[in-house]
Amino acid sequence: MREERAGRALVDAVDAGPAGPAGPAGSADAVLRVLRSRSVVRQYTGRQVDDEVLEMLVSAMLAAPTASNKQAWAFVAVRERRTLRLLGAFAPGIIGTPPLVVAACFDRSRPVDERGPGEGGWDMGLLCVAMAVENLLLAAHALGLGGCPVGGFREGPVRTVLRLPAHLDPVLLVPVGHPAGPLRPTDRRDRNEVLRHDTWEQ
């Protein structure tokens, strides 16, 4: 509960902009702490995600950058128990029954690129969906919740369960809930291996 209150204060501070109540330095520190400390959460307590929290998650998610501002995405926020159980049956990365799964989809009716499928034309749309999902995961973490992007699922049954029209392609299923245990930070590759300055070849 204390974590959730702190998370809400942080979301309010960020919402108020750089000159918000926490002041530029205070809110930047808090945001950077959130960015650095996220890791996937795969097991959740039985606590539900209420409407107010869902609304905060959704507004962070929909604020993500999107190619040509096409917003070629669509989401299904699932909290109904039967649907959650069905999704879990077709996505091995969803463990148990989380209180919320957000199905993040690419909307093929809003092309972001002249190129067609198979020529890289849909890649931009997929990137936009991924950015929205990262916003969702970071907002969840800021609020004391956690989640995991799940790309491994059986598309046909997931389409049927969610009653998706043909132009919506499910890209990631994102279970979200209150962590059942402490976060487990994962190793990162050495930054000297993945980052160079100014040019790659020196």
Ligand X SMILES: Cc1cc2nc3c(=O)[nH]c(=O)nc-3n(C[C@H](O)[C@H](O)[C@H](O)COP(=O)(O)O)c2cc1C
Dihedral, CA of residue 112, residue 117, residue 123 and residue 124, to nearest 10: 0
Q: Does 140 bind ligand X (CB under 6 A)?
A: no
Among 69, 186, 192, 199, binds ligand X (CB under 6 A): 186
Cβ-contact 141, 3 below 8 angstroms:
no
Q: Does 43 bind ligand X (CB under 6 A)?
A: no
Q: Does 152 bind ligand X (CB under 6 A)?
A: yes
Tokens 């070629």 correspond to 72
Q: For residue 73, which of 109, 113, 117 has the smallest C-alpha distance?
A: 109
Q: φ and ψ at 33, to 5 degrees? A: -60, -40
Q: Does 199 bind ligand X (CB under 6 A)?
A: no
Candidate segments 7-15, 63-71, 149-157, 190-198, binder of ligand X by CB under 6 A: 149-157
Cβ-contact 41, 99 below 8 angstroms:
no
Helix axes 23-37, 2-15, angle to 10 degrees: 120
For ligand X, the binding residues in 50-79 under the rule CB under 6 A are none
Beta carbon of residue 86, minimum distance to ligand X (angstroms, whole number):
17
Beta carbon of residue 101, minimum distance to ligand X (angstroms, whole number):
13
Which residue, 13 or 168, has its beta carbon nearer to ligand X? 168
Among 101, 128, 132, 148, binds ligand X (CB under 6 A): 148
Among 71, 89, 93, 111, binds ligand X (CB under 6 A): 93
Q: What angle do CA 85, 82, 94 make, to 5 degrees?
A: 20
Rounded distance, CA 72 to CA 154, Å?
22
Q: Does 158 bind ligand X (CB under 6 A)?
A: no
Q: Does 39 bind ligand X (CB under 6 A)?
A: yes
Beta carbon of residue 189, minimum distance to ligand X (angstroms, whole number):
11
Residues lying near ligand X in the complex (CB under 6 A) are found at 39-40, 93, 148-152, 186
